[in-house]
Amino acid sequence: MQLHLSSGPDFERVAQRQRVVRETIPARPGEIVDRHGHVFATSVNVRSVYIVPRQIREAWDVARRLGEALDISPDALFERIASHPDKQFLWIKRRITEAEVERVRSLKLPPNICGFREEFLRQYPQGPVAAQVIGIRNIDGVGQGGVEQTLDQLLRGQAGYRELEQDARGRVIAVHTDPEHAPQHGQTVVLTIDTVIQVYAERALDSVMEQWKPQSASAIVLDPQTGDILAMASRPTFDPNQPQHAAADAWKNRAIADMYEPGSTFKPFVVAWALTQGVIQPDEVFHCENGEYRMGRRVLHDHHRYGPLSVADILVKSSNIGMAKIGQRLGNKELFKAATAFGFGGRTGIELPGELPGQVRPLKQWNLYSTGSVPMGQELAATPLQIITAFAALANGGTLMTPRLIVHDDDEANRSHVRLVSRVVDAQAADWVRREALAAVVTRGTGKKAAISGYEIFGKTGTAQKQDPKTGLYSRELHMSSFVCGGPVDNPRALVLISVDQPSVSVAGEHFGGSVAAPAAGELLHHCLTRLKVPPNGKLIRSALLPDDFREQFIE
């Protein structure tokens, strides 16, 4: 027989390890609020219950009693205990109610067998409003999607700990805390979103979904002077308080992750670029060949048999042939430079996960037909955010900005948050396109249904044919209908873009952007300008929708 003797200090260290346990103190996740302090995401204290399988002798008895208290199948709970007999920690039920806490306490299970841990339950007071922008935190407190994912570390904070001294039966007899080990709670994140405008955007999409029954839709509201995102919404959507019920396609933020050919919404960028490069003049007139124009082996068509059109009227009437002739003046190299300068083919840099870059093919892949196709918004793909960001350059004097979603601490003290990318076009060209052409789109062109009372606004319709997934060819039935608008014309304070994917009602040309998206976009813009306290022009106060000439077909 051998007898091993240990010194007193060794025994003391062993006893200390058995007697003292370290308990994690969770950090409270930071809140997410809008620009005015309205809460999008917050956290409340809850308890979760755990067991120590290694200490359990009567597993079935514990499983039966806990199962009844927590409304869990005793058989399933017994199986979990039996499957982990040596574990020192096993969650039984997370984030339980106070009633469940009291029922578990009434069982009076030994503390070395069963206990509670404090946690935080994420709550979203606005429900589905801006759901894809906000994202969620999962059961383990990890951000998934939206701002919750982008700023996960900032919001999560750093957990702390305290030491608990226990007796032989696992009962706490002393608690040792140290300020140095206190949790570092998550920081509050302020968004540029205005909740009131966001709700208006959500309602606009609900109206579009109800009327047109599309596959999906998105809406963005942007301040063109700062790049601030005032609203961003997607349909379908979900309630982040109940993410388990969300359909798979409801998680997608379509404002940044849908790519489609921009169609006619791309035309103003080509005109502004051509004016800046001096290859066209504002007072020029182009003959639009009475609706048919041959380029190589292809024939381009307009929906009306237009003859001579001014540069402004090419945009007002959305003439494909007029744009093709401007494209021929520029040439493929300049068209490529225009597309990339306006931000197409690259991510905008918005502070959200999952943004797609769009697509602009390498110049060497362009051909004769690209000269006519690209100016009308074909042969390239863009996200809604790229389109509205490019439009902001036409609203602020020609400067491309990085859109902003997060307000940083020093932003309001200075204008450091305005992130300029580059000057894209001359201020004179940007202003001319906005005032002389895009304003006329609303007063007498394809965007008349967006006209609103009290404000002179500008806009552009877009109706892009989608490719048939079966044939790979452009479909006559599948469309992306959109409308982008802003106002007031002389000093734009807000831009709105509504994009509608595959509207199902297409009677008498009603799948076009001027009918599908323009009314909702105009109404949303009116709400925005009112919310921003932009005074209306008394001379323009009239019916929100112009009553005359609505039967005239304006087709992109």
- pLDDT averaged over the chain? 89
- Pick one of 3.30.300.340, 3.40.190.290, 3.40.710.10, 3.30.70.1520 as the CATH number of 195-540: 3.40.710.10
Mean pLDDT of the region 386-404: 97
Q: Which residue has the higher pLDDT, 458 or 413?
A: 458
Mean pLDDT of the region 131-155: 96
pLDDT for residue 530 is more than 60: yes
pTM for this prediction? 0.89
DSSP state of 536: P
Distance CA 197, CA 190 (A): 16
Segments making up each domain of the chain, as ranges: 21-53+118-191, 195-540
pLDDT reported for residue 163 = 73
DSSP state of 180: G
Mean pLDDT of the region 34-63: 95
Domains 21-53+118-191 and 195-540 share a fold: no
pLDDT reported for residue 508 = 43
pLDDT reported for residue 552 = 33
Distance CA 389, CA 400 (A): 7
Instruction: List all residues 6 or more positions away from 494 whose beta carbon is below 8 Å from its beta carbon.
Output: 221, 222, 223, 224, 230, 486, 487, 525, 528, 529, 532
Closest CA to 112 of 80, 79, 91, 89: 89
pLDDT in tens, 18-30: 567 777 788 999 9
* Percent of the chain clearing pLDDT 90 (strictly above): 76
Element (H, E) at 115: strand 114-123
Residue 434 in tokens: 């906005």
Distance CA 133, CA 218 (A): 12
Residue 450 in tokens: 């967006």
Q: Do the beta carbons of residue 387 and residue 497 sit within 8 Å?
A: yes
| Residue 489: φ, ψ to 5° | -60, -45
Closest CA to 90 of 120, 66, 122: 66
Tally of CA atoms within 13 A in the half-sphere of 460 that contains its CB? 33
What amino acid occupies position 134? I
DSSP state of 556: -
Closest CA to 497 of 512, 511, 486: 486
pLDDT in tens, 78-119: 999 999 999 989 999 999 999 999 999 999 999 889 999 999
Distance CA 502, CA 480 (A): 6
User: Cα–Cα–Cα angle for 364, 321, 443, nearest 5°?
Assistant: 120
Residues in the chain: 556
Strands 189-191 and 32-33, by their bridges, are: parallel
pLDDT reported for residue 470 = 79
pLDDT for residue 545 is more than 50: no
Residue 144 pLDDT class (50, 70, 90 cuts) = very high
Q: Do the beta carbons of residue 96 and residue 148 sit within 8 Å?
A: no
pLDDT reported for residue 505 = 64
Chain CA centroid to CA 302, Å: 35
pLDDT in tens, 362-376: 999 999 999 999 999
Residue 167 pLDDT class (50, 70, 90 cuts) = low
| E-only strand ranges, 186-228 | 189-191, 216-222
pLDDT in tens, 419-438: 777 899 999 999 999 999 99
Instruction: List all residues 6 or more positions away from 43 whose beta carbon is below 8 Å from its beta carbon.
Output: 28, 29, 31, 120, 121, 122, 123
Mean pLDDT of the region 534-547: 64
Mean pLDDT of the region 301-306: 91
Burial of 112 (0-12, 13-18, 19+ CB in 10 A): middle
pLDDT for residue 329 is more than 70: yes
Q: Within the chain, how many helices (H) and strands (E) appear?
A: 19, 24
**CA dihedral for 224, 226, 227, 229, sign (positive or negative):** negative
Distance CA 50, CA 463 (A): 57
Closest CA to 314 of 341, 337, 282: 282
21-53+118-191 has which CATH code? 3.90.1310.10
Strands 216-222 and 39-51, by their bridges, are: unpaired
pLDDT reported for residue 468 = 76
Q: Do the beta carbons of residue 404 and residue 227 sit within 8 Å?
A: yes
pLDDT for residue 13 is more than 80: no
Strands 458-467 and 172-176, by their bridges, are: unpaired
Distance from the first to the final alpha carbon of the chain = 99
Of 119-128, 474-483, 516-525, which gets the smallest average pLDDT? 474-483
pLDDT reported for residue 230 = 99
pLDDT reported for residue 179 = 64
Highest mean pLDDT: which range of 98-112, 272-286, 411-425, 470-484: 272-286
What amino acid occupies position 15? A
Tally of CA atoms within 13 A in the half-sphere of 257 that contains its CB? 17
Residue 16 pLDDT class (50, 70, 90 cuts) = low
DSSP state of 244: G
Closest CA to 339 of 388, 285, 394, 382: 382
pLDDT in tens, 175-227: 666 666 788 999 999 999 999 999 999 999 999 999 999 999 999 999 999 99
pLDDT in tens, 437-468: 999 999 999 999 999 999 999 999 998 878 77
Distance CA 356, CA 439 (A): 30
Distance CA 434, CA 226 (A): 18
DSSP state of 415: S
| Residue 128: φ, ψ to 5° | -75, 0
Closest CA to 341 of 277, 281, 289, 263: 277
